[in-house]
Structure 1
Amino acid sequence: MIAITGATGQLGQLVIEDLLKTVPASQLVAIVRNPAKAQALSDKGIDVRQGDYNDEATLSKALQGVDKLLLISGSEVGKRAEQHGNAIRAAKAAGVKFIAYTSLLHADKSPLGLHVEHVATEKMLAESGIPYALLRNGWYTENYLASAPPAIEHGVFIGSAGEGKIAAAPRADYAAAAARVISSDGHAGKIYELAGDNAWTLSELASELSKQSGKPVSYQNLSEADFAAALKGVGLPAGLADMLADSDIGASKGGLFDDSHTLSKLIQRPTTPLSESVKSIL
């Protein structure tokens, strides 16, 4: 049995979609905080089980009979190390034989503040005694494209990444890699640095938005403090705004760049180019 945590999340849903191409629904366990939101998964014949990252006992129960676990990192920055610890201990108690964890690109040397909880989780996995693989995901293209509509409307895309190269790929590409690793053998002990084939700067993203929308869009580089303030000004929660600004500064230092092409090798096709992602949102 293969279990996926965060199965109703944006990445989790895409992983399950991919897994269903090769794995019978009866072999999948979807672990979700609120089963009422997972009716669509139940309808496909997937075993939906309640499990909360904050409650180790629910996770231990949800993982009974599971051989492999895809541990998708939680979304509550600041609480994740503790939550992932609950999941790892529960997996050990339930006799899970393999864990694949969605970490951060070059987590061990990343300049992004986000790396701290991922490094802590990687350490707990190493100490657990359970065979595991690290899926160190780069940035999702969607993280930036969420800002595309207002950028096109106002003619300016703002950020703090300077001319840092960002090797992003859409969530679906990372989901395909996760599905492959969790459904096949030979991945224990592997660290996969996953990123898009073709890196781009935010200036190049602005140019692509301009080209495809037919409206002038330029990139405006801000200080970390000014970018965070601008994000808060449009209604983003303070914690999220600060995290995004910090991540852009990290990108300016090369934190979101990788040219190993590990992701495309794993999914056996090129990653989705920026132009295609822009086209799909327009």
Structure 2
Amino acid sequence: NNYEAPTNRFGLVAKGMGIVVPGRVGDVIEKNLVINHNRYGIVASPMLDANLYFSQHVHVKNNVVLDSGYTDLALAGPWGPGNCFEENIYQTSTPPMLEQLHNCSNLNSSNLLARLPLQGDPSGLMMLAGFFADAQTANLDKNLYKEYPWPKEQVTMEFQDISAPSPAINLFYIPNTEEIEIPFELLEKDFENYYKAEKEIIMSGVPISSPTLWQLLFQLYGYLMPFVLYAAWAALAIKDIDTNDKVQGGMKYVWLAIVYLVPFFGVLTYHLAGPSNISKAMKFGAIIGGLFSYIAILVAGAIISGLV
């Protein structure tokens, strides 16, 4: 939560977060105490770099994560396979029931239902995009290492045998996590009044009290607009099913079930391959035009904000 610490633009994105696992593969986050961060406690997320990297096979287990501003545990989508959360002490997670549906013990299960749904929160990527866009437009005192003052003269280190390596720490040390005890007594502490971390209400991935312009843009258009398009397509399909002479009797209920029970693909199937009576021009405008507008707004926002 130290927003005064010197950093580059990438560091600005991670401020207010406890442990960030961006686009990592195979990391194990275990036996950590993460308390009172303004944004996330522990978050596994994609990484926006030269490419978009997804977190894969990240295990988050046996941690104490409490009183985070946004949420204690988070899995931001899109996400890769094998991420799991288990035996953590926490209060909130994004998405809800993260440990129940992404438990580590289910990874090797032969039961298909034990591994589904492979859920995450797609709004996390849009939130991350908003953070990166804010960082691109932020004024930093120093961004490049060359802009920092030259350090003062240092004392030369002395070695008995400079050719013999002598590391300050054991580079191959592996901690024994079984000997690390989880401080259960901390559950009785009043962290909110003690640390005074800023708490935030999140709705559909958007911070309610203090969203920035870029957070609103990417969250509202990047995350919510697909649902708006889906609602519009579904409304057109339902109206057409009711008035379409090609759909009679029990087939009305069959197509309604497809539209209701198969999100996105059901309504697209009705419009593009089913007996839809809507004109081709209207279909093109509603479906292709809607998708094009969605992509165009995101691309324009990313370019204007300096994200790409």
TM-score by structure 1 length? 0.28
Indicate the structure whose relative CO is greater, using CA pairs within 8 Å and at least 6 residues apart. Answer: 1
TM-score by structure 2 length? 0.26
